[in-house]
Amino acid sequence: MTIDNTEGARAQIGVTGLAVMGSNIARNFARHGHTVALHNRSIAKTDALIEEHGSEGDFVRTETIEEFVAALQKPRRVLIMVKAGDPTDAVIEELASAMEPGDIIIDGGNALYTDTIRREASLRDRGLHFVGAGISGGEEGALNGPSIMPGGPKESYQALGPLLESIAAQVDGTPCCTHIGPDGSGHFVKMVHNGIEYADMQLIGEAYNLFRDALGYDADQVADVFTEWNAGDLESYLVEITAEVLRQKDAKTGKALVDVIVDAAEQKGTGRWTVKSALDLGVPVTGIAEAVFARALSGAREQRKAAVGLASGQLADKPADAAQFTEDIRQALYASKVVAYAQGFDQIAAGSAEYDWNLHPADLATIWRGGCIIRARFLNRIKDAYDENPKLPSLILAPYFRDAIETAIDSWRRVVSTATLLGIPVPAFASSLSYYDALRAERLPAALTQGQRDFFGAHTYERVDAEGKFHTLWSGDRSEVQA
Ligand code: NBP
């Protein structure tokens, strides 16, 4: 371990921002044999890292940005892990002033992709490479192998790729890191990844709620179901940790911890960003949107308190066959997950087309198989589906998923209808099923919408039997004219 930089530029990578994520990634680089220059706005975090973990590898301690930059081999590679937003802009500016053309600045924070597009353009004008890298896996992933989604100029990946791939999670010998595409694409796909994570968590939450309120299971019983599911097609990090959270006991009361946690979910914003972007792109990500709204509703604590006791109407009896209902919930969860992922991948395709990014869905499924929060056996199926047909109109149409939904459909309908009859909210299960039914419908009520729009706003409509746009003279003789 070396903790000064008197030997000059010898670090392969620098990490600035040494809170939980930055320090764990710095340690991950060092554990993989890279010399890591360390920097943090306040020196205390740098010293704490060296004191506690300095023996894990070769670190270079620096106090100022100038010292930090001077410690790096060329082309210099600096990973920024500070709070997203203004702090990131401040650090980029400080670094850019001290760096030289050809050097690479990587933002590994959760930046909004449009900020990354702006930053990349501005640094490109100054001859610097800017890489917006989505990093998923939380603090544990950062230390032991995250999923990394670097965007930015392709040539920067030559100098950066091997370093990032060495610290990423590996699945079947393949690193969970690949060059995603230009400018903001890395942060864009990380944002959608987080949106899918919201949907996945909401669906799991709805399944848990059904076990608790429809079958009367306690937390341990639900944990057992999730543990069993984790041995099958639903195997995933989120299902695994669900069982762990449900089994946790509260030391103070002896109750299940989940029963003493306030039921108001918080959010940091990436789910909301995903939905906003989807609205702009015109992509129906109903599963993600329901998840974001469900968190918002859970957080409306005063309103909820005031509404407790409102009429439920006549409720049905609880399901008589618990084993059948458990299997129904498993099928509904799987089918709704397919929908949530299909919608997320649709958004990625739309973003790719909008920004001319040429994104490859199979690559994303590959690097999400390990390291990240949505890692799951399921991702192998998605990779196979896109490998087979990169231009799939929807994931739902891939033969494997089409068959899986066909198997699940009766269960899915039973779960949504039973939940409704029992007065148990299942917004994501229900909206996923409605999305599926709308997608497969031969006729949608949108024809009526078009008629209404033409009536009040002369917005015109297309006909099923002729080319062109048409308008009915609603306030005249109601004959039709070609627009
Ligand atoms: P935080 O997001 O809590 O940021 C703390 C770091 O930002 C500290 O090093 C702090 O320096 C630095 N900082 C701030 Br605040 N303002 C600064 C400024 N104006 N100039 C320079 N440095 C400044 O840390 P984190 O939770 O480790 O996350 C880092 C990034 O990674 C974030 O963008 C986050 O969204 C992203 N991320 C987090 C997770 C996760 O699971 N936590 C997962 C994936 C991505 P100081 O020590 O001097 O105050």
143: Cβ below 6 Å to ligand 1? no
Ligand 1 contacts CB of residue 137 (under 6 A): no
Verify that 24 and 80 share a domain, yes or no: yes
Nearest residue to 267 (alpha-carbon basis) of 294, 249, 248: 294
For the CA of 17, the nearest atom of ligand 1: 9
- Based on the domain organization, do 117 and 192 belong to the same domain? no
**Do 378 and 461 share a structural domain?**
no
One of 45, 120, 165, 190 is an active-site residue; which one?
190
Q: Are residues 247 and 364 in the same domain?
A: yes
From 133, 155, 178, give the residue that closes a domain: 178
According to DSSP, the β-strands at 466-472 and 461-463 are antiparallel
Of 159, 93, 80, residue with least CA distance to 126: 93
Q: Assess whether 314 and 428 both reside in one domain.
A: yes
Is 347 within a domain? Answer: yes
Q: Are residues 402 and 293 in the same domain?
A: yes
Q: How far is the CA of 45 from the centre of ligand 1 (A)?
A: 12
Element (H, E) at 245: helix 237-247
Instruction: Report the separation in Å between the CA atom of 239 and the middle of ligand 1, taken as the mean of its atom positions.
Output: 28
CB atoms within 10 A of CB 478: 8
**Atom 33 in ligand 1: residue holding the nearest Cα:** 109
- Supply 306's token pair: 């005031």
Which pLDDT value is given to residue 7?
Answer: 60
Residue 240 sits in the same domain as residue 364: yes
Is 298 a member of any domain?
yes
Answer yes or no: 190 catalytic.
yes
Burial class (CB in 10 A: 0-12, 13-18, 19+), 144: middle
- 431 CA distance to ligand 1 middle (Å): 35
Tell me, yes or no, whether 225 and 105 share the same domain. no
Mutate to test the pocket of ligand 1, among 49, 62, 68, 82 (most ligand atoms within 8 A of CB): 82
CA distances to 121, 161, 186, 278, 346 from 352, in Å: 18, 21, 11, 12, 10
What is the CA(87)–ligand 1 centre distance, in A? Answer: 8
* Catalytic residue (one of 45, 120, 165, 197): 197
CA–CA dist 185, 210 (Å, integer): 38
174 and 193 housed in the same domain:
no
By the 10 Å C-beta count (0-12 exposed, 13-18 middle, 19+ buried), 23 is classed as buried
Give me ligand 1 centre to Cα 19, in Å. 6
* 3 domain residue, yes or no: no
Binding annotation: 17-22, 40-42, 82-84, 110, 136-138, 193-194, 198, 268, 295, 453, 459
Amino acid 1: pLDDT: 45
List, for residues 18-67, the tens digit of each pLDDT value: 999 999 999 999 999 999 999 999 999 999 999 999 999 999 999 999 99
Q: Nearest C-alpha to atom 13 of ligand 1 is from which residue?
A: 82
Best residue for ligand 1 mutational test, from 23, 81, 83 (most atoms within 8 Å of Cβ): 83
Residue ranges of the binding site for NADP(+): 17-22, 40-42, 82-84, 110
- Across the chain, which has 483 residues, the per-10-residue mean pLDDT values are 59 98 98 98 98 98 97 97 96 97 97 98 97 96 97 95 98 96 98 98 98 98 98 96 98 98 96 98 98 98 98 97 98 98 98 98 96 93 95 96 98 98 98 98 98 98 98 98 96
**Number of domains comprising the chain:** 3
CA of residue 83 to ligand 1 center, whole Å: 3
Q: Among 178, 205, 226, which residue terminates a domain?
A: 178
DSSP, res 150:
E
- The CATH number of the domain holding residue 469 is 1.20.5.320
Q: Is 202 a pocket residue for ligand 1 (Cβ < 6 Å)?
A: no
Cis peptide before 361 (omega within 30 of 0): no
CATH code, 366: 1.10.1040.10
Q: Are 354 and 117 in contact (CB under 8 A)?
A: no
Would you say the CB of residue 269 lies under 6 angstroms from ligand 1? Answer: no
Both 109 and 202 in one domain: the answer is no
The one-letter amino acid at 91: V
Q: Domain ends where: 149, 178, 207?
A: 178
**Does 367 reside within a domain?**
yes
Q: Do residue 261 and residue 324 come from a single domain?
A: yes
Q: Which domain holds residue 194?
A: 188-438
Length of the chain equals 483
Instruction: Spell 189-212 as b/e; 16+ CB within 10 A means b.
Output: bbbbbbbbbbbbbbbbbbbbbbbb
Q: CA–CA separation, 133 vs 187, rounded Å?
A: 6
Evaluate whether residue 183 is within a structural domain: no
Residue type (1 letter), 101: P
Q: For residue 333, is it within any domain?
A: yes
Res 260: pLDDT? 98
* Distance between first and last Cα of the chain: 76
DSSP one-letter code for 93: H
